[in-house]
Structures are given as structure tokens and as C-alpha cells.
Amino acid sequence: MAESTAPADAVPADANCRAAGEGHHHGYVPEAAAINNRLRRVEGQVRGLQRMVDDEAYCIDIITQISAAKAALDRVATLLLKDHLNHCVADAARSGNTEEMTAKVAEATDAVTRLLKS
Amino acid sequence: MAESTAPADAVPADANCRAAGEGHHHGYVPEAAAINNRLRRVEGQVRGLQRMVDDEAYCIDIITQISAAKAALDRVATLLLKDHLNHCVADAARSGNTEEMTAKVAEATDAVTRLLKS
Amino acid sequence: MAESTAPADAVPADANCRAAGEGHHHGYVPEAAAINNRLRRVEGQVRGLQRMVDDEAYCIDIITQISAAKAALDRVATLLLKDHLNHCVADAARSGNTEEMTAKVAEATDAVTRLLKS
Amino acid sequence: MAESTAPADAVPADANCRAAGEGHHHGYVPEAAAINNRLRRVEGQVRGLQRMVDDEAYCIDIITQISAAKAALDRVATLLLKDHLNHCVADAARSGNTEEMTAKVAEATDAVTRLLKS
């Protein structure tokens, strides 16, 4: 441990996507601006919902706009999932570390399960 | 417009919940402050998502927070639905105008269908 | 009306929709055949899924068919919800028993919450 | 086997998971029996729903059982997704065929999108 020269391959396998190893970027980083644009639009939708409530808009119309905001969040989530599979999971597969890849896949499908329940 | 005698009962039946007839309030109005508190929290969650993206948070953690925001929106939607059924639909039922009530129920279940698809 | 030993208001309030009071039918009963036709089609879809697994069909194609079966179940659920609101909830509203109506509405929105989580 | 003019590596890359190349199995095949057990239970749930309708069960109770059947289908779908990512997508990643892997990932996230809408 002491005097470790810490070669690249000493980086723990699970640092692949989780840790901010120098030069490492999550799959979505090149698309971060586009993703944040989408999230800002969702933020605008949620502020719009508050105005609808203030203006005593029709209940059903508010619920319809809630559906639209949820669908927009789902779109962001599936974009993040796609980037995650294309980068973090694919890197784990290529690394030959099956245990790590299986853990990453389990984590991704658990995230899908949570999305499906929301 | 001028000289209108516009008695209260001249308001078309479907104005029951949709139109802002004087003295009429949607079912959720007494709870508007509580609903907007929830929506402000959702707005905060969506801003938190943007910070997570800026900070290059782990993809899966962002997706998990998206699930939380969606669940919070579902909670607002079901509160609005409950108020709508307790007030607008119930008023329509009591009014004896079956056609109007059936239309309101169809509208509410269509809103549920949209929620289920989001 | 005269000499009746069983006045309408002797029926316990919650018998409105839940109990099988003589002559009482749930809202969906006139549509029971149509609903069971839909459910039989869903049953066929689920058997089809088993055949796909036996035939080693492509994973993604099976997931797509699962989505179709879930959507068909949602359609049955919203039909039942519509009938419930049109009959059981509306009857409760007309009966003037606000407590019962509120309980029925709470029950219906709780059922929607469970649907949204599935 | 002998004199085969079609060595394993002549199988087109996209046959990886889709085609039934000899010796190839989809990710879920070792779990096919467990998956079909789950699907048979869902089939039983859907037949149970039909009996509930025949017996004029309470609308809300039927909707609750529909939620249970949908959740069971979601569980099957996420199991298939997990196997798909662990096998088909991982194989594509390891093969070095980025185009194929990207296509498989897009297909998987599209399947998740359909599940989220159902």
C-alpha cells in the first residue's frame, strides 16, 4: 500500500463510471448541455403548474400538464440510461471484469424498476 | 353584455367546475397553498437534477432522483383528482344532470389514462 | 311506498356498491361481458409470452409484448374506474351521505395510485 | 461440424442475439423456466380477474388485482432486460462492433420507453 505508484490499472474497477478519475467522464457528459436544456424546460413546466393553481385553472387541465412534465422527465431518464449503457456498462463489458459489469447492469435495471414505479 | 340579467341558473351546466362563476371554486382551491408547496418542492428537485448534471453526478443517481420527482408529481395529480371527484364530479351527480356527470367522469378517466402513460 | 317494511334508507350506506344488495349491481356489471372479453385477450397475450419464451424469441420483442399486455390491463382498469365513478361514487353523491362519498373517492384515488406504481 | 464453411465467426455480428445461430442462446434462456413460471402465475392472475368479474366483485378490488398483475409483468420485463444487457449488449460491447452495440442499446432503451408508457 505504502509507496504505491498507483498505476492506472490499480484504479478500483468500480471507479469506471462512478468515480471522477482524471479524464473520466460519465456517458452523458457530452450531452450535459442538451440534458440541462430539457431539465430547464421541465422546471418551467413545474412553475407553469404553480401559476395554473394560482389562477384556479381547471383541475383536469392541471393533471394533463402534470402528465406532460412526467413524460419529459421520463425522456431525460431514458437518455441518461442510454448514455449509461453505451459508456459505463459497455466499458465494464470490454474491461473483462464480469463481476463489475453484472453489478452495473443490476444497478441500471434497478433504476428502471424505480422509474416504472413512479 | 350590458343589461344582462344573467341569473345564476343561466350559467350553462358544464360551467359547474370549468367556468369561474362568481362564488364557484374548483375542488382543490382550499388546498391550493398545500398543492403549490408540493409543486415548489418538485421545482427544487428539478433544479437539483440540473446541479447533479453540472456536477457530473453518477447517471444512475440522477435517474433515481428523476423517479422521486415523478412520484411527487403523481402525488399532486392524485390529490387534484381526489378534489375533483369530491367536488366537481359530486356536484354534477347531485345536480341530476347525468349527461354532464358522465362527461366529467369521462374527462377524469381520460386524465388518469394520460397519467398512466407518463 | 306505504307499508314498506324496507325503506330505501334502511340499506346501510356502505352497501351502496360493495354489498350485493338485492337488485344492486356494480357499475361495470352491464359491461361485464365486454370486460371479460378484454381479459380473455390479455390471458391470450400472456400465454403468447410463454410461447415466445419457449421459442427463444428475441428478448426485446418479448418486452414489447409485455408492454402491450400492460396497456391492455390499464384499459380494463380505466373502464372499471369509469363505471365505478359513474355508478358507485355518483350514487353516494346523490344519497347525500358525504362521508360515504368521500370514503369512496379516497378508495378510488388510492386505486389510481396503485395503478400508477405498477 | 467438419468441413463447415460457416465458422462461428462468420455469423453476422447482428446475429449475436437476434438470430438462432447454432449454439447461440439469448441471455434469458438459462432462466426460461423461472420466467415461464412467473408468466404462468400472471396467467392465473388474469383468469382470477375474469372470475372476479363473473362473481361481481367490487370494482376497486378488481383494479387492485390489475395493479398486481401489471407489477408482476414489470418484474418479468426487468428480468429479461437484465439478461439482455448482461448477454446481448455485453457481447456486442466485447465484439468491438460499436455500431451494433449502439443499435442494441437504442433498442433496449426504446423498449424501456414503451414499458414506461404502459
Q: How many CB atoms lie within 10 A of CB A4?
A: 7
Chain A residues within 8 Å of chain D (Cβ atoms): 74, 78, 81-82, 85-86, 89-91, 93-94, 101-102, 105-106, 108-109, 112-113, 115-116
Q: Which runs of consecutive H residues, i.e. helices, occur in chain D?
A: 32-54, 59-84, 90-95, 98-116
- Distance from the Cα of D116 to chain A's closest Cα (Å) equals 6
Determine, for residues A77 and B66 on separate chains, whether the beta-carbon distance falls below 8 Å: yes
- Separation of first and last alpha carbons in chain C: 48
Give the up-direction half-sphere exposure of residue B118: CA atoms within 13 A in the CB hemisphere.
23
D-interface mutation test, from A94, A105, A117, most D Cβ less than 10 A away:
A105
What is residue B100's predicted lDDT score, i.e. its pLDDT? 93
pLDDT, mean of residues B10-16 = 40
Query: Scanning the structure block, which residue is given the C-alpha cell 367556468?
Result: B19
Which of B80, B87, B86 is CA-nearest to residue B24? B87
Q: What is the DSSP string of C73-92?
A: HHHHHHHHHHHHIIIIIHHH
Helix residue ranges, H only, chain A: 32-54, 59-84, 90-95, 98-116
**Tens-digit pLDDT profile for residues B43-97:** 999 999 999 999 999 999 999 999 999 999 999 999 999 999 999 999 999 999 9
How would you write C30-46 as a 3-class SS string?
A: HHHHHHHHHHHHHHHHH
- The proportion of chain D whose per-residue pLDDT surpasses 90, expressed as a percent, equals 71
Q: DSSP letter for D15, please.
A: G
User: Does the structure show a pLDDT above 80 at A11?
Assistant: no
Lowest pLDDT segment from A16-30, C52-66, D13-27, D83-97: D13-27
**Interval A50-70 mean pLDDT:** 97
pLDDT for C50 equals 98
Question: Residues of chain C with pLDDT > 90: what percent?
Answer: 71
How far apart are the CA of D113 and the nearest CA of chain B, in angstroms?
Answer: 10
Q: How far is it, in rounded angstroms, from Cα D107 to Cα D55?
A: 42
User: What are the residue ranges in chain C where pLDDT is below 50?
Assistant: 1-16, 19-23
Chain centroid offset of residue B115 CA: 11
Residue with more model confidence, A45 or B28 = A45
pTM > 0.95: no
- DSSP3 helix / strand / coil % (chain C, rounded to 5): 75, 0, 25
CB–CB of A112 and D109 under 8 A? no
* Spatial separation of the C-alpha atoms in residues B54 and B48, rounded to whole Å: 10
Interval D74-80 mean pLDDT: 97
User: Helix or strand or coil: residue A54?
Assistant: helix
- Give residue A60's pLDDT band: very low, low, confident or very high (50, 70, 90): very high
Number of residues that this document lists for chain A: 118
Inter-chain contact A105–D85, Cβ cutoff 8 Å? Answer: yes
List of chains touching C (3+ CB pairs within 8 A): A, B, D
Across A15-29, B51-65, D15-29, the highest mean pLDDT is recorded for B51-65
Lowest model confidence (mean pLDDT) among A22-36, B63-77, D77-91 = A22-36
The beta-carbon contacts of C52-58 under 8 Å, at least 24 apart in sequence, are: C53/D28, C53/D32, C53/D35, C53/D36, C53/D39, C54/D32, C54/D36, C56/D20, C56/D25, C56/D26, C56/D29, C56/D32, C57/D26, C58/D17, C58/D18, C58/D26
Between the CA of residue C98 and those of B31, C1, C20, what are the distances in Å? 19, 25, 21
Band of residue D25 on the pLDDT scale cut at 50, 70, 90: low
Who has greater pLDDT, B10 or B83?
B83
- Looking at the complex, report in whole angstroms how far the Cα of residue C55 sits from the nearest Cα belonging to chain B: 30
Q: Hey, what amino acid is at A117? A: K
Q: Please tell me the predicted confidence (pLDDT) of residue C56.
A: 93
Q: Are C74 and D70 in contact (CB under 8 A)?
A: yes
